A and B are shown apart, each in its own frame.
Chain A
Amino acid sequence: MRFAIVVRSGPASSQSSRSALRFTQAVLAAGHDVHRVFFHGDGTYNANALSVVPQDEEDLSASWAALGREHDLDLVICVASALKRGMLDASEADRYERPAASVRPEFVISGLGQLADAALDADRLVTFGG
Chain B
Amino acid sequence: MATLHLINKSPTRSDALASCLRVLAPGDALLLIEDGVYAAVADSTGSQALVGHVCHALAADVAARGLQARLADGVRVIDEAGFVDLCVHCDRVMSWF
User: Which A residues form the contact surface with B (CB < 8 A)?
Assistant: 1, 3, 14-16, 19, 22-23, 25-27, 29-30, 32, 124-130
Interface residues of B in 14-37 (CB under 8 A from A): 33-35
Q: List 7 A-B contacts (CB under 8 A).
A: A1-B88, A19-B33, A19-B34, A22-B60, A26-B80, A126-B95, A128-B95
Q: With A15-B35, A19-B8 given, can you name 4 additional A-B contacts, CB distance below 8 Å?
A: A14-B34, A16-B8, A30-B85, A127-B95
Collect the chain A residues with CB atoms within 8 Å of residue B60's CB.
22
Q: Considering the chains assembled together, what is the distance between the CA atoms of A46 and B9 in angstroms?
A: 21
Once the chains bind, are A124 and B95 in contact (CB under 8 Å)?
no
Chain B residue numbers with a CB within 8 Å of A30 are: 81, 84-85
Nearest CB to that of A3 among chain B residues?
Answer: B87
Complex contact B97–A130 (CB within 8 A): yes
B8/A29 in contact, CB under 8 A? no
Contacts of A15 in B (CB 8 A): 8, 34-35, 61
A16 and B88 contacting across the interface, CB-CB below 8 Å: no
Q: What's the Cα separation between A23 and B87 when bound, in Å?
A: 11
**Chain B contact residues, CB within 8 Å of chain A:** 6, 8-9, 33-35, 60-61, 79-81, 83-85, 87-88, 92-93, 95, 97
Whether the Cβ atoms of A23 and B34 lie closer than 8 Å is no
Give the residue among B60, B83, B84, B85 with the most A Cβ atoms within 10 A: B84
Interface pair B80/A124, CB less than 8 Å apart: no
Across the interface, do B81 and A29 meet the contact criterion of CB distance under 8 Å? yes
A residues near B81, Cβ cutoff 8 Å: 26, 29-30
With contact pairs A16-B8, A128-B95, A130-B95 given, residues A23 and B88 touching in the complex (Cβ less than 8 Å) = no
Smallest CB–CB gap between B6 and chain A, Å? 8
A32 touches B95 (CB 8 A): no
Provide the bound-state CA to CA distance between A22 and B93, in Å.
17
